[in-house]
Amino acid sequence: MRRPSLALCLVVVSALAYGGPGCGDDQLCAPGALSACFLPDGSLGAQRCNDDGTALGACGSAPGALGSGCGPLGEACCPSLPAELRAGCDAVAAQANDAACDDYAGSASAAGFCSGGAAPDGVPYGPGCAGLLNDCCASLPARLASACHGTGFRGNEALCRSFLEREAQANGLCEGADPAAESCDYLAEQCCPSLPGGPRERCEDLAAEADADTCLDYLSGAADAGRCPTLGGGEPLASAACDALLETCCGTLDPALAYECDLSALSGSRTRCEAFESAARAAGLCLGDGGGGAGGGCGDTSSDVDNCGFCGNVCGDQHAVPSCAVGACSLACDLGYGDCDRDAATGCEVDFERDVDNCGACGKGCSDRNAAAACEAGACVLECDAGFADCDGEGSTGCEVELDADPLHCGACGNDCSGGACEGGTCGPGALQLASGLAVPSAIAVDAAAVYVVGFRPAGGVAVRVDKASGATTCLATGAAPGAAACGASERFEGIALTDAGAFVTGAAGVLRFPTSGAATTVTASVPDPWAVVSDGAAVWFTSLSHGGLYRADALFAGQLAAEITGAAAQVGGALAADADHLYWTWADGTVMRLRKDGSEPRQIASAQDFERTNLTPQYLAADAAHLFWSTPSGYLFRLDKDGSGLVALADGQPGPAGIAVDPRDGGALYWVNRLGSVRRVPKAGGTVDTLAVGQASAIAIAVDEAYVYWATQAGDLRRIAK
């Protein structure tokens, strides 16, 4: 009979000690180590483990000096990877897809690679993770490939196998891979030899049984303990508690528990080792030198402060009165001191009055960011560098504000530029608020006299006209000011197109036409969930969030059955743009299609693009006389000739572009908002990215006219600023 899984064995032992299904281990990661994570825009980032291994920091941009695109990936990153991962990197670089290459580089950087050095020595990646990165990830759709890279670089064989089976093979992808068959060979040949004596022998015995599932269980624990793969030149973590566990306990256990004991000891986590030993002793195991009661010549380890829990474990008396109860140290710290390293052997080692890393309390550090920091009488004292200030009053953030450039503290703390940029400590022109209370907008449009906002909120739909000069807001349906019921409708509006015939708005009720005067008419309600919309005044075209295809209806008639004009019934949603002769339509798989307005002459002009998936706004595609423009969640702004040639990245590294608008004039610019609150522009011909406004929380939709840029925020504010 097959024995229980290794993970289950540890849960059973822990449950005996604590009455619940957890081991109580609060060390989550190796101090200083990087782990992959996802940024709000969906791209890969990195988070660093704190100094005591108990928490991961905020997710930020992955470190590294690698440039953007497939060129730097193939030339600098791939050759620096461990040999067993280079084939997958080369395959991604060969695709010549900069977005895919940047995603791969981000995952590699989050794992500590591709930052300028040569490939580190150590135990290599196993067949599961190496096979996933080499043979599977590059063939997956963009979003799935991103998760595949992040999983593969973690090096955990069990997680890599799970991803392969559940995310890839369950969807008919990467069906030829079977890395589990090689897991015991990898364990025996690469992992076991890297371990010290007793664990090495027990590892070899397990590998010899050739049970792939059990080998994968062990490799999962070994990866989480930082052992297989072992990359980089740092020494493994170590602590007295783990050394004692390995010496006095692990070899006395049955094999399945011995493996878990070994992995706990090899992790170097004092908390994990103490938790395992305590659980084992509570279950009547490990009662030799490491157990309570008489043991091996050092007496009663249950209450001896010099041999607390196991022989030689001293409860320190530095600025403390120590005690030992039930084999665990307890410290009564002197006033003004603390046990911040949670190592009883060092006593209460921190002076809260003067320690800049623990000023007044454990973990309360005084940051030297742009400052000289000191701890005086338990409080942080900062001497800020010239041009910087401590505006939040928090010693832990240092002098966090650059007074020359911060729009919320421009020249002095609290000097808010009201949306304008701060340059040289002086505020530029601020943004003007035209309207508020229009939550939640999804799209906006402008004509000569007004701004039109459509969207949704719990009380009903938003479909309003805002006068550019006065800011007076009226409902499209009634001509009256909005009331508590959001223009008296119970709608959800999505997109808007303006023509001389009126405003065409998509939403829950279908495609509506709001004329310049008179009641609204329903052009068509035959297709549920219409979304993006364009019109030339004679016809209206739209996509649907729930039904595939591209639909057409006459603009001036009511109650029609809309006609699907493409035959692409599998393509749901997508943004639209139009010119005099053609429609342009984005597909979920990253394709951009061009077709005649009657649906004829369809042609793919771009592929493998990364389009917006949140459905918060259809405004990520725009056109002028010669080009198409679009934004991607991964931070790119692209320009493409309408015949499919001349793809140019006008900007990259932009945090979550959430809507775009293009100035149709020659020599104009492309404008966009992002979810971090900036309004930006770049010349259509290429050039420097300028920031027009900041601090616009959750800006989502944007439009331009001859003089101004207009945008709406998810909070329902409509604002403008001079171009």
User: 689: closest CA among 662, 660, 654?
Assistant: 654
Q: Mean per-residue pLDDT for 580-593?
A: 94
High-pLDDT (> 90) share of the chain, %: 40
Q: Which CATH architecture has domain 580-723?
A: 6 Propeller (2.120)
Residue 673's pLDDT is 93
Per the model's pLDDT, the better-predicted residue between 283 and 371 turns out to be 371
Residue where the block lists tokens 């508690």: 241
C-alpha span between 400 and 386 (Å, rounded): 12
**pLDDT tens digits, residue range 121-146?**
678 888 889 988 998 888 888 778 88
* Mean model confidence pLDDT for the chain: 84
C-alpha span between 694 and 699 (Å, rounded): 10
pLDDT at 13 over 50: no
C-alpha span between 179 and 202 (Å, rounded): 23
- 637-641 and 718-722 strand pairing: unpaired
| Band of residue 490 on the pLDDT scale cut at 50, 70, 90 | low
Tokens linked to 712: 């709406």
Residue 39's pLDDT is 58
DSSP 616: S
For residue 305, the SS3 value is coil
User: 719: closest CA among 527, 478, 506, 432?
Assistant: 432
pLDDT at 630 over 80: yes
Cβ–Cβ < 8 Å for 39, 50? no
pLDDT at 290 over 90: no
pLDDT at 26 over 60: no
Residue 495's pLDDT is 94
What pTM does this model have? 0.50
Distance in Å from the first CA to the final CA of the chain: 75
Strand-pair partners of 254: none
Residue 179's pLDDT is 65
Per the model's pLDDT, the better-predicted residue between 562 and 279 turns out to be 562
Radius of gyration of the chain (CA): 31
Highest mean pLDDT among 212-216, 322-326, 707-711: 707-711
Three-class HEC string of 228-273:
CCEECCCCCCCCHHHHHHHHHCHHHCCHHHHHHHHHHHHHCCHHHH
Q: Mean per-residue pLDDT for 209-224?
A: 86
**pLDDT tens digits, residue range 425-483?**
988 778 888 998 887 889 999 999 999 999 876 555 788 999 999 999 998 888 888 76
Q: Which of 68-82, 262-276, 278-292, 707-721 has the lowest mean pLDDT?
A: 278-292
Question: Cα–Cα–Cα angle for 250, 236, 47, nearest 5°?
Answer: 115
pLDDT at 692 over 70: yes
Give CATH 2.120.10.30 domain extents, the chain: 436-573, 580-723
Torsion of CA 114, 117, 119, 122, to 10 degrees: -110
Chain centroid, CA 491 distance in Å: 33
Cβ–Cβ < 8 Å for 272, 264? yes
pLDDT at 292 over 70: no
Q: Which CATH architecture has domain 436-573?
A: 6 Propeller (2.120)
Q: In what order do the strands lie in the sheet with 648-651?
A: 621-623, 627-631, 637-641, 648-651
